[in-house]
């Protein structure tokens, strides 16, 4: 999807931010799964949550600015929101809060 973003000055910056945040979600989730302590688990999961939310933000910027359009982008935004919600719920459960 990143290759579909216009590569003007703004598009290049947003592409870098989106790719960085999007790939960080998976790497931090993987690190959380290999955590040596609950504290480390929560820290990595919190980073994954922040990066998923940042990914949703950059997709919103792209959609609202009109730089991209279409159902694929709307679906991608929805997926980023869903991942944020899933990781948030996991953090709440891990921390023992409701």
Q: Domain residue spans in the chain?
A: 11-95
Contacts 24+ apart (CB under 8 A), 63-70: 67/5, 67/6, 67/10, 67/11, 67/14, 68/4, 68/5
pLDDT of residue 98: 56
pLDDT of residue 72: 97
pLDDT of residue 31: 97
Query: pTM (2 decimals)?
Result: 0.92
* Secondary structure of residue 88 in the 3-state scheme: helix
Which mean pLDDT values do the consecutive 10-residue runs of the chain (98 residues) have?
A: 96 98 97 96 98 98 97 97 97 86
Residue by residue, DSSP assigns 46-61 as HHHHHHHHHHHHHHHH
38's torsion region: left (phi>0), alpha (psi -120 to 50) or beta?
Answer: alpha
11-95: in CATH 3.40.50.880 = no
Q: Nearest-CA neighbor of 32 among 89, 80, 94, 76? A: 94
């Amino acid at each position: 999807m990143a290759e579909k973003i216009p590569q003007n000055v703004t598009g290049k910056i947003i592409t870098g931010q989106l790719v960085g945040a999007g790939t960080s979600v998976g790497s931090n989730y993987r690190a959380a799964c290999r955590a040596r302590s609950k504290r480390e688990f929560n820290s990595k999961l919190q980073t994954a949550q922040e990066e998923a939310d940042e990914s949703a933000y950059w997709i919103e910027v792209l959609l609202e600015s009109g730089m991209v359009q279409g159902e694929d982008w709307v679906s991608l935004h929805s997926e980023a929101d869903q991942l944020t919600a899933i990781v948030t719920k996991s953090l709440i459960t891990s921390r023992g809060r409701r």
